[in-house]
Structure 1
Amino acid sequence: MRDSVFNCCFVPPTPAAVVDDELGRRRNATQPLLRSDCRFLIFFDFDETLVDECSDDAVVVAAPGGSLPGWLKDTYRPARYNEYMQRVLAYLAEQGVSPATIQGVAESLPPCPGIPSLLRFLQSRPPCDFEVVCVSDANTVFIEAWLQKAGFRPLFQRVISNPAHFDEDGRLHMRPFHAHDCQRCPVNMCKAEIVRRYTAQRVQERGGQPFQRVFYVGDGANDFCPSLTLSPRDTAFPRRDFPMHRLIREMEEAKPGELRANVVPWSSGEDVVHTLQKIMEERP
């Protein structure tokens, strides 16, 4: 059975009170309620979009000697990185790497240029402006640790990622987010399906009221697929000269008009801020 896009949030180390939200779903009391009147919906990738590194690769520095043994590296298979990372996390636990060390690595990941300014801009807006969601093929523990440390967790209404948790022995377990049939994406996650389902479900919950615009900010090849779900009023923000941007350019050359969304490449989060400011000044 596939995970609901709403059932993938981090479980805090100290159990929080659990309450029913207005959507009839169980949630931690610290998880924000979803508003029904936000004008815009904005999705963010995590690795090399919010943070300027791949969090899975960065955690390797916690291994003895700061690297993985060759036999473990050789187990990687294309499109099955999630399975590979499960083996890496098991190895780190066997080597005695503590949860505190792993979370410390995640917390210390540097943000991408201008991303703190972009997130502060979103924080400064009235609550009815933006519904902010993170969609990532990393895992919930890494993302939650970084967002909490950086002070941006309250901004994100949902964190959608591969579910992860530390067991009583301190091993970090991660499982795939869902199964899907998309041939473009890794076997554990298709972000296009997530974006499509999340947006449709939210519109239904808003009484059929669509968002004025949907935005997607990303960098990787797996961020190209969700950009294809966007409408002509929406905007894809690919990180300039990263795989998402290159794939968009290739499609625009090979199949003009196939990608319906506006495309605004970014090198700094400030580029996204400027575009959002212009859009917000337009009439709905």
Structure 2
Amino acid sequence: MGKSCSQCPQPKELEMTTSTSQKYLLIFDFDETIVNENSDESVIHAAPSGELPEWLRRTLQEGFYNQYMQRVFEYLGDSGVHMHDLKAVYEALTFSPYMQQLLHFLSLNPEPFEIILMSDANTFGIESTLRATGFFSLFHRVFSNPSGPDKRGYLTLAPYHSHSCPHCPANMCKHKILSEYLLERAQQGISFQKLLYVGDGANDFCPSTLLSPMDVAFPRKTYPMHQKIQEMEKNQPGAFKAQVVPWESAEVILQYLQSLLKRS
């Protein structure tokens, strides 16, 4: 996937007459970006044996991870794992290096930023983590796969939406989500000075192709998003438009934002 999504709305389709906003739109991924692990894999530790049976692991198909996790949550429920057990796992997730300091800085400087989160995890897990750490209110919107308890008390999971992007998982294309969000805000008379995208995964590369030369992509260093940006720059020099600021520690992102506010 060293290409932009030709089947998703391109930036020119988002152009509208809007009032200029001085805010920056800051977009975060969740797994292996805000938290330092894959939250879906972490919940497996709540299973009685601490792992999944081989027959269940064999049902995972590329591009259909959401359906796989639906089966995982069903298995966990059948195994006696309760919502409070899963909540405890989510609340114990560790932040990526320096991410807590970055979020604390944003909580002290909320005015310049509109912050959203796009994640292929699930709403229950994300909210559990962010509420436990006091950062949930930072986010203007959270886009993730809907989840919650059913009548049995099992955590159930659904796909976020459907889409036609050939590069993304069947349940979520973040390019489509970001395009629609920018259009929605434009219709409300809101435009952004700059888009700032913080992510790590292959599904973060697709929306990052929306970014303009005015914008900044913060891919986690050596992770798939970073690799795909490098691949595009090698195969199609100049095709990736945004400034690229790789990070191993979120201190890099914090320092960039501090500098940005000083210049504005």
TM-score of the alignment, normalized to the shorter chain, above 0.5: yes
Aligned partners of 2:21 and 2:105: how far apart in 1?
Answer: 19
Q: Conserved in 2, the CA contact under 8 Å of 1:164 and 1:175?
A: yes
Q: Conserved in 2, the CA contact under 8 Å of 1:38 and 1:131?
A: no
| Residue in 2 that maps onto 1:122 | 106
Aligned length: 245
1:236 to 204, 213, 217: 217
2:88 to 104, 113, 119: 104
Aligned partners of 1:202 and 1:234: how far apart in 2?
Answer: 17
* In the alignment, structure 1 residue 245 sits paired with structure 2 residue 226: yes
Task: Percent identity, please.
Answer: 48
Aligned partners of 1:197 and 1:93: how far apart in 2?
Answer: 35
Q: Conserved in 2, the CA contact under 8 Å of 1:38 and 1:128?
A: no
| Residue in 1 that maps onto 2:250 | 269
2:148 to 158, 165, 169: 165
Structure 2 residue ranges without an equivalent (≥5): 1-19
Q: Conserved in 1, the CA contact under 8 Å of 2:219 and 2:225?
A: yes
| Residue in 1 that maps onto 2:13 | none
Q: Conserved in 1, the CA contact under 8 Å of 2:98 and 2:250?
A: yes
Q: Conserved in 2, the CA contact under 8 Å of 1:180 and 1:190?
A: yes
* In the alignment, structure 1 residue 222 sits paired with structure 2 residue 203: yes
Opposite residue 122 of structure 2, the aligned amino acid is N
Aligned partners of 1:187 and 1:169: how far apart in 2?
Answer: 27
| Residue in 1 that maps onto 2:55 | 71
Opposite residue 215 of structure 1, the aligned amino acid is L
2:30 to 35, 39, 46: 46
What is the SS of the residue equivalent to 2:27?
Answer: strand
Structure 1 residue ranges without an equivalent (≥5): 1-35
Q: Could you tell me how far 1:37 is from its partner in structure 2? A: 5.2
Can you list the C-alpha shifts for 1:110-148, whole angstroms capped at 9, x where unaligned?
0000100110111111x4311111100000000000000
Aligned partners of 2:119 and 2:249: how far apart in 1?
Answer: 19
Aligned partners of 1:38 and 1:147: how far apart in 2?
Answer: 26
2:161 to 178, 191, 204: 178
* In the alignment, structure 1 residue 258 sits paired with structure 2 residue 208: no
What is the SS of the residue equivalent to 1:226?
Answer: helix
Aligned partners of 1:69 and 1:38: how far apart in 2?
Answer: 52
Can you list the C-alpha shifts for 1:170-228, whole angstroms capped at 9, x where unaligned?
101110001111111101000011111111211221x2x42000111000111100110
Aligned partners of 2:56 and 2:259: how far apart in 1?
Answer: 49
What TM-score does the superposition give when structure 2 sets the normalisation length? 0.90
Residue pairs, 1:184-203, within 5 angstroms: 184-203=167-186
| Residue in 2 that maps onto 1:31 | none
Can you list the C-alpha shifts for 1:7-29, whole angstroms capped at 9, x where unaligned?
xxxxxxxxxxxxxxxxxxxxxxx
| Residue in 2 that maps onto 1:113 | 97
Aligned partners of 2:45 and 2:53: how far apart in 1?
Answer: 12
| Residue in 2 that maps onto 1:155 | 138
Q: Conserved in 1, the CA contact under 8 Å of 2:21 and 2:191?
A: no
What is the SS of the residue equivalent to 2:117?
Answer: strand
Opposite residue 230 of structure 1, the aligned amino acid is L
| RMSD between aligned residues | 1.2
Opposite residue 44 of structure 2, the aligned amino acid is V
Could you say which structure has the greater relative contact order, defined with CA pairs below 8 angstroms and 6 or more residues apart?
A: 2
What TM-score does the superposition give when structure 1 sets the normalisation length? 0.84
